[in-house]
Amino acid sequence: MATMTAQDFDAIKESVQAGNKNWIKVGMSTCGIAAGASNTYRALEDELTNQGQTTVSLRTCGCLGMCHAEPLVEVCIEGLPRVVYCNVTEDCAREIVRGHVMGRKLLQDHILAMHYEEAFS
Amino acid sequence: MSEKTVLLQDTTAGSTTGTHDFFGIFKAALRESNLADTVRLVRVADMGIYNQGVVMTILPEDITYANVEPNDIKRIIGVTLKHGNPVKDLLYQPKFRQMRLVLKNCGRLDPSSIDEYIAADGYRALLKVVEQQTPEQVIADLTASGLRGRGGGGYSTGLKWKFTREAAGDEKYMICNADEGDPGAYMDRSVLEGNPHSVIEGMLLAGYAIGATQGFFYIRAEYPLAIERVQKAIDQARERGLLGSNVLGSDFSMEIEIRLGAGAFVCGEETALIASIEGKRGTPVPRPPYPSVKGLWGMPTCINNVETLANVAPIILHGAEWFSGIGTKTSKGTKVFAVTGKVRNSGLVEVPMGTTLRDIVFEIGGGIASGKAFKAVQTGGPSGGVIPEKYLDTPVDYDNLQKLGSIMGSGGMIVMDEDDCMVDIAKFYITFCVEESCGKCAPCRIGGYQIMHILNGITEGRGTLEDLDRLILISRAMKMGSLCGLGQTAANPIISTLTYFEDEYREHIVNHRCPAGKCKALLKFSIIRHLCKRCGLCERACPEKAISGDREHGYSIDADKCTHCGVCFDVCKFSAVERV
C-alpha cells in the first residue's frame, strides 16, 4: 500500500473525531474482565437491543486504573455530562441503558469521579 | 439558563447517610429557587476525595467545592448555579493531582483500533523522527529529557541507547522487557492491554535511534490478553507501513516479534532474558560485557521496560524540556504505581516524581481500607523494602527510595496495616526469591535458602537472638556475592524490616509472640469465661474438635489439639476468644 503521509494521519484523526458522539465504553482489560466486565458488556448489548436503541455505539477500552471499582463503564450521551460508572453489575448495566441512555438521567450512587490532569493534550 | 449537573458526596461520613441528608436539603433549596428542572442533582459513589466533608462538583463549569455546609447552599445556588461563577472560599484546593502521561490513553482508547491511537496523535513521533531527525538527535533528546529506566534500575535511557548505537555489530536488536513479575505489580500489563501501540511506537523510536533492524517483545505467558492485543497491534502497524521494511517511506526498516516468557522471574534480568530468547535456559551471565555491547546472539542489544518505552513518543513530540520540567532534580517525568494491599482504592496511580508516599497512599489511595493503623508500605517487590510511617513524607524518586533502603522498582506498592507481620512479610519475599532463584550462583541459591530457614524458625518460635546477626551476615554476603540483580537484592526486604521493625523480630524471638497475630504457630487461643455467653458457636466451628464443653458449664480449648487456625476467634460474636 501507499506510504502514509502527514495528511493521512490528519484524515484518520478527523474521521475518528467525526464518529458517533453517543457511546458506551466498557473497560475490558484483565482486571475488568476478572471483575465481570464481560457480563456487563453482554447486559449492555442485550438491553440496548431490548430498548430498540441503535444510535449508541457500544465499545471496549483498556483499564482506567481504578481496580477497586471495576467493572467500569464510561457513558457519553450528547447533552449529558460524560461520566464513569463504577462497580457496574449486570443489573446496573441495564439500569444505565434504561435510565441514562433512554431516560436521560444520571444514575444515583454509581458515578465515580476522577481527578487527574493529563500531562499533555 | 443552560442545564447544570451537581455531583455530590459526603466524603467524611463514609456512608451514604450523610449524603442523603444533604441531598434532601439541597433538593429542597433547588425547588425553592425554581431550579429543580434545570439542575441535575446526583449522588456519586466515589468522589475520589476523602475526609473533606460534603464535596460537590458542578458541571459543565467543573467547579469543585469541599467542606460544604448546608448554609453555603444559598450562595452556591446564587453565584454558581445561576451565574456560573465560583464561590471562592469554598473551592477545593487539591494538594496535588495525578498526572497521566503513560496512562493517558489507557482506558480511553480501544486497544484493538490503530485508528483511535493515530487520532490521539499516535505514530506522529515516529513520522517526525524518520522525516526530520537523525538517530543522534533522537538520542540527544532522550538524554536531555532525563528519562530513566522504569523497570527498576533507573539507568539513563538516552545513555543506554547511545552505547548501543556506538557499539560495533553487524546487526542490532531492540527488546521490550514485558516480563513483569513482581508480586503486586501490573502496570505494564495494563499499558500493553490498554494502549499497545504506544509501546510499539516507543520500540520503533528506540530501534531507529540505536540502528536496530529487529525488535522483540518479551512478554510473560501469564499475560494472554496482553499478548493477543500486542500481536494484533503489531499486525495493524505492519499493514499501515509503520513497521517492516522502509517505515513510512524512509530508509529505516525494523521488524517486531513477540517472544513468550515461560514464567521465570529471573528472566526479567537482562542477560537471563537474552538467554531465554536465544532458546537457552534462562540464567544470567556476568556483566560486563553489557548487552549494549554484546547482547542477543552476541550483537549490541538495547533492553527497555514497557513503561520506559511508553514515555518515549511523548518526549519526542513535546520535547525534552517539557519532560524534564516534570519531576525532581534527579528523577524526571511521572511514575506509574500499582497500589495494592490494605488500601481503600487499589489500582494504578500515575504521579509526577517527587510526590510523597503519604499523598499516594492517603490522598489517592484513600487510606487504609479497614480504618486500622497504617504500618508500612512496601515498594520495589522482592528487591525492595518496607518504608514505615515516619518516612511517609519522603518525595518519591529513585534516589530517595534507595536512601530509605528500598527501591523504586517497577512500581509495585503494597500498603500494610497493623495486622501485617513484618517477619512474615520478609519470609514471604525471601520464599519467593528462593523459588525463583535460578540456582546458578551459590550466594543466591544457598543464602536465600538459609535466610528462609531462619525466618521460618523465628515465626514458629524457634528463633534465637543470634539469628538476627546471622540474617544480616547472610544478607550482606548475598548482596556482595550474587551474580545478578535477583540475588543482590533478594535480601533487601530482610534488611529493611530489620532496620525499621527489629522490635517485632525480638518479640517473636524473646516472648514467642507475634504482635500482628499473623504467625499462627505462636498464637495461643483461650476462652475468657466472664465474656463467654455459652452459645457454642466456637465448638461447632472448630475444625479440629479442640473445643469441648456444653451450654451449661461453658467451653474450653484444648491447647494440644488446637492448630491455631483462628476460626473460633473469628466466629465469636462476644469477643470472648482471646488471641495472644
Of B7, B194, B249, the CB nearest to A111: B7
> In the predicted model, is pLDDT for residue B354 greater than 70?
yes
pLDDT at B13 > cutoff 70: no
Note the pLDDT tens digit of each residue in B163-203. 999 999 999 999 999 999 888 899 999 999 999 999 999 99
For every residue of B141-178, DSSP letters joined together read HHHHHT-B-TTTT--BHHHHHHHHHHS--SS-EEEEEE
Confidence band, pLDDT 50/70/90 cuts, at residue B10: confident
Question: Is the CB of B475 inside 8 Å of chain A's CB atoms?
Answer: no
Q: Is B366 a residue whose pLDDT tops 70?
A: yes
Q: State residue B465's pLDDT score.
A: 96
Contacts for B438 with CB less than 8 Å, ≥ 6 apart:
B264, B266, B272, B281, B282, B283, B284, B444, B486
Partner residue opposite A9 with nearest CB, options B118, B223, B344: B118
Q: What gap in Å lies between CA B115 and CA B555, rounded to an integer?
A: 70
Q: Do A114 and B48 touch (CB under 8 A)?
A: yes
- Mean pLDDT across the stretch B237-253? 95
Region A77-82 average pLDDT:
91
B59 touching chain A per CB within 8 A:
yes
- pTM of the model as a whole: 0.91
- Cβ(B224)–Cβ(A33) under 8 Å? no
- pLDDT at res. A1: 57
Report the pLDDT averaged over residues A16-37: 93
d(CA A64, CA A113): 12
Any A CB within 8 A of B348 CB: yes
User: Residues B262-272: pLDDT tens digits?
Assistant: 889 999 999 99
- List CB contacts (< 8 A) between A65 and chain B: 103, 106-107, 190, 347-350
Residue A9: list chain B partners with CB under 8 A. Answer: 118, 123-124, 127
What residue in A sits closest to B122 (Cα-Cα)? A9
Residues of chain B contacting A61 with CB distance shorter than 8 Å: 107-111, 194
Q: Does B225 touch chain A (CB under 8 A)?
A: yes
Alpha-helical regions (H) of chain A? 6-17, 30-34, 37-50, 90-95
User: In angstroms, rounded to a whole number, what is the distance separating the alpha carbons of residues A60 and B545?
Assistant: 52
**A69 to chain B: which residues are within 8 Å by CB?**
45-46, 345, 347
B334 and chain A in contact, CB less than 8 A: yes
Show the beta-strand stretches assigned E in B255-319: 255-261, 301-305
State how far residue A120 is from chain B, nearest Cα, in angstroms: 7
- Looking at residues B128-153, what average pLDDT do you find? 94
| Residues in B touching A16 (Cβ below 8 Å) | 115-116, 118-119
- pLDDT at position B16: 57
pLDDT at B343 over 70: yes
Q: What cell was used for B22?
A: 444533604
Give the tens place of pLDDT for each residue, B398-456. 999 999 999 988 899 999 999 999 999 999 999 999 999 999 999 999 999 999 999 99
User: What pLDDT sits at residue B410?
Assistant: 87
The answer to whether residue B293 scores a pLDDT higher than 90 is: yes
Taking contacts as CB-CB distances below 8 angstroms, the residues of chain B near A1 are 239-241
Per-residue pLDDT for B2 more than 70? no
Closest CA to A37 of A17, A66, A10, A9: A66
Work out the minimum CA distance from A15 to partner chain B, whole angstroms.
8
Q: Which residue has the higher pLDDT, B157 or B566?
A: B157
| Of residues A15, A65, A115, nearest to B347 (C-beta) | A65
Percent of chain A with pLDDT over 90: 80
CB contact under 8 A, A108 and B57: no
Cβ pair B100:A116 closer than 8 A: yes
What dihedral do alpha carbons A45, A47, A49, A53 form, nearest 10°? -100
The model's pLDDT over B49-100, given as tens digits with 9 standing for 90+, comes to: 888 889 999 988 889 999 999 889 999 999 999 988 999 999 998 877 889 9
- Answer yes or no: do A120 and B100 touch at CB < 8 A: no
User: A60: part of which helix (H) or strand (E)?
Assistant: strand A57-61
- The three three-digit cell numbers of residue B497, written as one number: 524490616
User: Chain B: nearest CA to A119, how far in angstroms?
Assistant: 5
State yes or no: pLDDT of B1 exceeds 50.
no
What is the arithmetic mean of pLDDT over B106-132? 95
Q: Tens of pLDDT along A34-73?
A: 999 999 999 999 999 999 999 999 999 999 989 889 999 9
A3/B248 Cβ within 8 A: yes
8 Å CB contact of A81 and B5: yes
- Span B215-231, pLDDT tens digits: 999 999 999 999 999 99
Write down the pLDDT at residue B291.
96
* Residue-range domains of chain B with CATH: 4-90 (3.40.30.10), 114-321 (3.40.50.11540), 334-417 (3.10.20.600), 422-510 (1.20.1440.230), 523-579 (3.30.70.20)
What string of DSSP letters covers B6-20?
A: EEEEETTT-SHHHHH
Classify B474 in phi/psi space as left (phi over 0), alpha (psi -120 to 50) or beta. Answer: alpha
State whether B241 and A4 contact (CB < 8 Å).
Answer: yes
